[in-house]
Amino acid sequence: MFMKKTTKMLNLILRPMLVSALVSLASLPFVSIAQAVSIAQAVSNEQSFNSQQEDESDSTERPNGKTLAQQNVKHFKVGVSYANSYPLFSFADIEDKGFGWSVLEAFAKKHNIKFEYIPMTITRLQPSMDNGALDFIFPDNPLWSAYRSNRYPNIYSGPIISTVSSTFVSKININMPVKDIEKVAIPFGFTAFTWFEPVKDYNIQTIPARDSRAALHSVRRQSVDAADVEYNVGIHLIGSDSTLHHLEVSHNLPHTAIDYHLSSIKHIVVLEELTKFVEENQALVKTLKSRYKIKYHDEVFP
């Protein structure tokens, strides 16, 4: 009991110092004020969170530096896109929810925690996390800014999986240069940043599509010249739909690697543990990658 009270007193003393030190990061040229404040707030929240768990536990003393497996809280709500992006993820499926889900579940199993996945529209994800209804968002990426909140800047894990932003066209247009593209389909909610410059330079019209499947069918119907669809998702959809077999990925049109992260506005400890888990379990990630027949950018565009 004495040790617990002492720890609480130290937290009260050191927390303002820690927050002040983190906010001072804003003086560095590569860290914004918002990012520094967000990190400080996240650390403060985690300390309050851990302190609360101490209060709710029995009188057994615990050492400093608890791992996730040693914390009482085991349940987290993860907001996920309702879109079917299999084999990367498809949270509407009952059994197998894809590559990204498998990595998260392996992490959760090791740390004795449970992720509850809550599918929703992309526009609802950030507000739900800001309001406390969600603990995390997956997938997320710092480059995706269309629906980002200015209320609480997101904090990100390291990359969980890598994906391939690519462009699909009809086989007859496989060599079409970007300057000849008039219309490109973009799945709803996607930040098609690989097309920002071409759209501006060549006055290309972007056509919203309900999802990746609808974007590919827009190419099939010749209502657009190309579709911005993740490579692995596109290949899976084409393989399962005979009407799309005449579509291929173009090597002439925009493509790039995109990392998927887990994001939060307060659970920085979980993000750090997840990052460490992925880095230390690359053999597992490689096995899952093979199981789901995933290709990375350098394998598609060597």
The answer to whether position 300 is within a domain reads no
Same domain? 242 vs 290: no
Q: Verify that 98 and 169 share a domain, yes or no.
A: no
Q: Tell me: do 250 and 129 sit in the same domain.
A: no
**CATH number, residue 216:** 3.40.190.10
CA–CA gap between residue 168 and residue 154 (Å, rounded): 32
Q: Are 252 and 207 in the same domain?
A: yes
The strand pairing partners of 169, in sequence order, are: 248
End-to-end Cα separation, the chain, in angstroms:
60
51 and 74 in a single domain? The answer is: no
Please state at what angle helix 33-56 crosses helix 2-23, rounded to 10 degrees. Answer: 170
What pLDDT band is residue 19 in, cutting at 50, 70 and 90? very low
Task: Determine the pLDDT at residue 66.
Answer: 58
Residue 63 lies in a domain: no
301 found inside a domain: no
Same domain, 251 and 277: no
Amino acid identity for residue 112 in this structure? N
Q: Are strands 114-120 and 155-156 parallel, antiparallel or unpaired?
A: unpaired
Do 154 and 94 lie in one domain? The reply is yes
pLDDT tens, position by position, 198-212: 999 999 999 999 999
CB of 194 closer than 8 Å to CB of 173: no
State whether 120 and 265 are in the same domain. Answer: yes
Q: Is residue 219 part of a domain?
A: yes
pLDDT band at 193 (very low <50, low <70, confident <90, very high): confident
Which pLDDT band holds residue 249 (cuts at 50, 70, 90)? Answer: very high
Measured distance CA(139)–CA(156) in Å, rounded: 10
Query: What is the domain range of residue 247?
Result: 163-257
Is the pLDDT at 148 greater than 50? The verdict is yes
Please give the pLDDT value at position 71. Answer: 55
On whether residue 276 sits in a domain, the answer given is yes
On the question of pLDDT at 138 being above 80, the answer is yes
Is the model's pLDDT at 163 over the cut of 70? yes
As a whole number of angstroms, the distance between CA 189 and CA 8 comes to 44
Domain match, 78 and 197 both:
no
- pLDDT given for residue 186 in this prediction: 96
Question: Is residue 302 situated within a structural domain?
Answer: no
Residues 268 and 146 in one domain: yes
**183 and 123: one domain?**
no
The token duo for 264 is 């939060």
pTM to 2 decimals?
Answer: 0.77
The domain tally of the chain equals 3
Average pLDDT, the chain: 82
pLDDT at 6 over 50: no
For residue 152, the model assigns a pLDDT of 77
pLDDT in tens, 36-59: 444 445 444 444 444 443 443 333
Does 155 share its domain with 170? no
- pLDDT tens digits, 84-134: 999 999 998 778 999 999 999 999 999 999 999 999 998 899 999 999 999
Predicted confidence band of residue 194 (pLDDT cuts 50, 70, 90): very high
Of 187, 189, 197, 257, nearest in space to 227 by CA: 187
